[in-house]
Amino acid sequence: MVEVRLEKVSKIFGRVRAVDNVTVTFPESRFSVMLGPSGSGKSTTLYLVAGIYKPTNGSIYFGDKDVTNLPPKDRNVGLVFQNYALYPHMSVYENIAFPLRLQKLDESTIATKVNEVAKLLRIEELLDRYPSQLSGGQQQRVALARALAKEPSVLLLDEPLSNLDALLRLTIRAELKKLQQKLGITAIHVTHDQAEALSMADVIIVMDQGRVEQVGTPHEVYYKPRSLFVAGFIGSPPANILSGRIERIKDALVIEVAGARFEPSEDHLAVLRESNLEDIVIAFRPEHVLLVDEPIGRNLNVEAEVYVTEPLGKETIVTLVVAGNLMIKAVASPDYSLRSGEKVYVSVPRNKIMLFDPATGLNILHIAGESEPA
Amino acid sequence: MSYKVLRILRRRRYVMRYDVETIPARKINITLGVAVGLATLPVVAIYVLLTLSSFADRMLSGPDILEADYSIENWRLFFQGKLDPAATSLYSFKELIMIILNTLIVAAGVTVIVVLVSVMAGYAFSRMKFPGRRELMEFLLLLHAFPGVALIIAVYAIYVWSLKGIPSDILVPYRFTYTIFARAALEIPLSIWLMKGFFDKIPWEVEWSALVDGASRFKTWFSILLPQVKPGIAAIAVFAFLAGWEDLIYVHVFLYTGGIKTLATLIEEVIGNIETAYLPIAAAAGTLYLLPTIIFFIFTQRFLLEALTGGVKG
């Protein structure tokens, strides 16, 4: 097992910068997930690791070994595609045996290995069938078996779950993670499904427009987004984003937003006092919103009108209008009954509020952290 | 809208009664079947009459099917080289076998060249980036539009010029090779397009998978992609074989002038003067000549259909 390291890697297709100066480490024996919207360069990055694409600039390392110019066949990686890409003219057995045959192993070793990996993925009874005779979930297992058969040092997964139906996806998601832990393999998984990323990942790499927006644990990415993009992309529904102004009167510093004023938390105050920001973007998660009749202490309290409620069973999503035309989403308990047009206060505790620099889109706490000398 | 209004609308046929998809499939099949049957009836009738005539004592033209006497006499005479029951033998049975072999050599040769070139070029056009790729594709289509007859003068000029350098002991193989390559060149443009279409339908991911699994590009092409374009290979092979088998002009110009006969030139001889030829024997020759066409179409129609409909499975 090796760690995979990209150093200042760019990939340019014609005039498109698909991957833009990416430096990132996928830790050894961990499950890394690249998350981003379509066109964010995550699949391209995966193909760069696989060797299907060659980087325009930069270097790729497996451990200490520079693999930048190695063809895919010499990298010992396993790759599973969204459409599985099984070989339709070969039986399941032959599909799994294909990479082993290329290693010129003898027939009995191949049989042992195929049966071993088939057992691991519980597809022993499918070995004689052809891909066209399999369901999506079964094809997915076969593709995974084929990728694992040659015992790769890195397992690459390109949205392998997105062609499965919702229920199966949940099952395989858990199994895939279990499998990775059992084998201790370095896995890199690409997805646009944040629930998938949050549930499976040891490390999430959030990508947008060919750049890495944030690298962190699911918890960090969710609760400490480095940029507005991450805050707006992750979470279901994603974070509410409002623009505000900073008002400095002598020593006091308050933020004005949607007709309301609040004093930022101590951490924020410390950073804001050092800066000369005038405009600010504030963000908060829908589940941190309290819907109350009266303002609460030092929280951010904004007058709002209920626009629509969507009961989802375990919770109710409430959409509210503040300051005339801004929409806010809040998660309320399912027994919370509100009617459209009703007036309430949107109340957010100070420590749940995130602040971003409108010019760079970066979290002001991160700016402070990153500018410190290493 | 109230129920009453709807009812009025329905009565006035403002409401569409059927979805487009709900036209019964059987109805379409019957209509199509009848149409195709009518369209092909003349061709089928002629083939049937030709085959029957080869066994009859006269050339059949329709109603006389029931009156004629049937025997294998015509075939016997044809194999003996007698083009008229009363005539002397023009060629021996052995010579006829040689003629059939010659035809097979040309047909098989054209097939091998066309398949080899098209499968490789089709892959390159489908999967590789190189300067002038698009222009070359369009140029191929233009080449296909050229009729073989129009090219024959130039091809013949090159042939005559090249003959000077050929030692006489390999002249016969050279004539065959030249014919095969010249004839194959006419088939190759369209075959490349067909093969490109087949390669285009294989997802890149399949090819990438093989590369990641440890295969070289050539190995991937050979053991992963080729098996998946088998229907296309079968189709171009059949087309190429029949083109070689049926060719008259190229065979006549490059082989017949050198004294090498094929079935096409034989029939040309047999019929010779259509007014004096004994037609039932010519019918036997014609039927023999058509045999591979019929056999091929019966056994490969599934592949051919797939190729002609762009490989979309029905």
Average pLDDT, chain A: 89
Distance of CA B211 to the CA centre of its chain: 36
Identify whether the C-beta of residue A30 lies closer than 8 Å to the C-beta of residue A213: no
pLDDT in tens, A332-370: 888 877 788 888 999 999 889 999 998 888 888 876 666
Nearest-CB residue to A85 (from B209, B214, B215): B209
Q: Do B224 and A146 touch (CB under 8 A)?
A: no
pLDDT at A317 exceeding the cut of 80: yes
pLDDT tens-digit readout, A184-206: 999 999 999 888 999 999 999 99
ipTM: 0.83
Instruction: Out of A113-127, B157-171, B212-226, B294-308, pick the least confident.
Output: B294-308
Q: To the nearest whole number, what is the mean pLDDT of chain B? A: 83
Distance between first and last Cα of chain A: 29
Tell me: the pLDDT tens digits for A36-74? Answer: 998 899 999 999 999 999 999 999 999 999 999 999 988
Q: Indicate the range of B3-17, B90-104, B229-243, B281-295 predicted with least confidence.
A: B3-17
Beta-carbon separation of B209 and A146 below 8 A: yes
d(CA A150, CA A79) in angstroms, rounded, equals 11
Q: How many CB atoms lie within 10 A of CB A52?
A: 21
Separation in Å, CA A313 to CA A38, A139, A236, A335, A340: 30, 33, 15, 10, 19
Q: Which helix (H) or strand (E) holds A17?
A: strand A16-26
Which alpha helices (DSSP H) does chain B contain, by range? 3-11, 25-53, 73-80, 93-127, 133-145, 148-163, 171-200, 204-213, 217-219, 226-228, 230-246, 249-254, 263-271, 279-308
Nearest Cα neighbor of B264 from B103, B48, B112 is: B103
Instruction: State the Cα angle at A281 between A344 and A192, rounded to 5°.
Output: 95
Residues of A with CB under 8 A from a CB of B: 47, 50-52, 71-73, 75, 77-79, 81-83, 85-89, 98-99, 102-103, 146, 150
pLDDT of residue B56: 84
- Asked if A71 lies within 8 A of B211 by C-beta distance, the reply is yes
pLDDT of residue B280: 83
pLDDT at position A286 is 92
Distance from CA of A62 to the nearest CA of B (A): 15
Q: What is the pLDDT of residue A373?
A: 42
- In a mutational test of the B interface, the residue from A102, A130, A159 whose CB has the highest number of chain B CBs within 10 Å is A102
Inter-chain touch A98–B219, beta carbons under 8 Å: no
Using one digit for the tens of pLDDT, what is the confidence trace for B208-226? 999 999 999 899 999 999 9
Residue B288 CA to residue B245 CA, distance in Å, equals 12
Confidence (pLDDT) at A369: 61
pLDDT at A67: 93
DSSP H or E segment with residue A219:
helix A218-223
Q: Which residues lie below 8 Å from residue A6, measured CB to CB, with a gap of 6+? A: A22, A23, A24, A25, A45, A48, A49, A58, A59, A60, A61
d(CA A67, CA A156): 15
Q: Which of B206, B212, B230 sits opposite A72 (nearest CB)?
A: B212
Sign, CA dihedral B310-B312-B313-B314, equals negative
Residue A207: both structure tokens together = 């990508």
Higher pLDDT, A213 or A335: A213
Residue A371 scores a pLDDT above 60: no
pLDDT at B299: 78
Which among A71, A77, A85 has CB closest to B206?
Answer: A85
| pLDDT recorded at residue B312 | 38
CB nearest to A88's CB, from B213, B215, B228: B228
Backbone angles phi, psi at A106, to 5 degrees: -80, 160
pLDDT at B2: 59
Cα dihedral B284/B290/B294/B296 (nearest 10): 130
Do the Cβ atoms of A73 and B211 come within 8 Å? Answer: yes
Query: Tens digit of pLDDT for each residue in A232-243?
Result: 999 888 899 999
**Short-list A173, A199, A284, A198, CA closest to A237:** A284
Residue B307 pLDDT = 58
Distance CA B234, CA B241 (A): 10
Alpha-carbon distance values, A217 to A221, A224, A272, B114 (Å): 6, 10, 26, 58
Q: What is the dihedral of CA A172, A177, A182, A183, to 10 degrees?
A: 100
pLDDT for A175 equals 85
pLDDT of residue B62: 74
Q: Is there a contact between A213 and A230 (Cβ–Cβ < 8 Å)?
A: yes
- Rounded Cα gap, residues B64 and A311, in angstroms: 84
Residue to substitute from B129, B198, B213, B218, interface A, most A β-carbons within 10 A:
B213
Show residues of chain A in contact with B208, CB under 8 Å: 47, 50, 52, 72, 79, 81, 85
* Cα–Cα nearest to A216, from A66, A349, A369: A369
Q: Which residues in chain A have Cβ-Cβ distances shorter than 8 Å to B198?
A: none
State in Å, rounded, how far the first CA of chain B is from the last one.
42
Query: Rounded mean pLDDT of B82-105?
Result: 83
Say which range, A217-226, B9-18, B236-245, B269-278, has the weakest mean pLDDT: B9-18
Q: Which of A41 and A1 is assigned the larger pLDDT?
A: A41
Verify whether the Cβ–Cβ distance B224 to A87 is below 8 Å.
yes
Q: What's the whole-number mean pLDDT along residues A258-285? A: 87
As a whole number of angstroms, the distance between CA B168 and CA A121 comes to 68
Is the Cβ–Cβ distance between B178 and B161 less than 8 Å? no
Residues of B in contact with A51 (CB under 8 A): 211-212
From A323, A332, A310, A249, select the one nearest A282 (Cα to Cα): A323
Find chain A residues with C-beta within 8 A of B211's C-beta.
Answer: 51-52, 71-73
Closest Cα in chain B, distance from residue A124 (Å) = 21
Contacting residues of A for B215, CB less than 8 Å apart: 73, 98, 102
Sort out which chain B residues have CB atoms less than 8 A from A150's CB and list them. Answer: 213-214
A contact test, residue of B209, B217, B225, B226 with most A CBs within 10 A: B209
Residues ≥6 apart with Cβ < 8 Å to B80 = B89, B92, B93
Contacts of A78 in chain B (CB under 8 A): 212
- For B81, list phi and psi in degrees, rounded to 5: 90, 10
Distance in Å, alpha carbon of B305 to nearest chain A alpha carbon: 20
Q: In this structure, what token pair is assigned to residue B166?
A: 């050929």
Nearest to B211 by CA among B225, B201, B198, B197: B225
Chain A: nearest CA to B70, how far in angstroms?
49
pLDDT the model gives residue B291: 85
Torsion of CA A177, A178, A182, A188, to 10 degrees: -10
Q: Would the pLDDT of B310 be above 50? A: no
Q: In chain B, which residues touch A (CB < 8 A)?
A: 203, 205-206, 208-216, 219, 224, 227-228, 230
pLDDT in the model for residue A202: 94
Regarding predicted confidence, which is higher, A31 or B80? Answer: A31
| Out of A51, A78, A87, closest to residue B206 by CB | A87
**Which pLDDT band holds residue A374 (cuts at 50, 70, 90)?**
very low
Q: Given a cut of 50, is residue A372 above it in pLDDT?
A: no
- How far, in Å, CA of A222 to CA of A225, rounded? 6
A73-107 pLDDT, tens per residue? 889 999 999 888 999 999 999 999 999 999 999 99
Q: Do B213 and A98 touch (CB under 8 A)?
A: yes
In degrees and rounded to multiples of 5, residue A79 shows phi and psi of -135, 130
Partners of residue B219 in chain A, C-beta under 8 Å:
102
Nearest to A79 among B212, B216, B219 (CB): B212
How far does CA B153 lie from the centroid of its chain? 24
Q: Express as a percent the part of chain A with pLDDT over 90.
A: 52
Per the CB < 8 A criterion, the answer to whether A43 and A190 are in contact is: yes
**What's the rounded Cα separation, in Å, for the pair A98 and A75?**
16
Greatest extent of chain A over all pairs of C-alpha atoms, in Å: 82
Nearest-CB residue to B214 (from A47, A50, A150): A150
Has residue A302 got a pLDDT over 50? yes
Distance from CA of A29 to the nearest CA of B (A): 20
pLDDT surpassing 80 at residue B15:
no
Q: Do A98 and B212 count as a contact with CB atoms less than 8 A apart? A: no
Contact B214 A88 (CB under 8 A): no
pTM exceeding the 0.80 threshold for the entire prediction? no
- In chain B, the percentage of residues whose pLDDT exceeds 90 is 24
Q: What is the pLDDT of residue B52?
A: 87
**What is the mean pLDDT of the segment spanning B5-19?**
57
Cβ contact, residue pair A146, B228, below 8 Å: no
Q: Are B278 and B46 within 8 A, CB to CB?
A: no
The size of chain B, in residues, is 314
Q: In this structure, what is the dihedral angle of CA atoms A11, A17, A20, A21, given to the nearest 10 degrees?
A: 60
The top-scoring range by mean pLDDT among A23-37, B26-40, B138-152 is A23-37
Amino acid (1-letter code) at residue B268? E
Specify burial of residue B97 (Cβ count, 10 A radius: 0-12, 13-18, 19+): exposed
The edge-to-edge listing of strands for the beta sheet with A4-13 is A16-26, A4-13, A57-62, A65-66
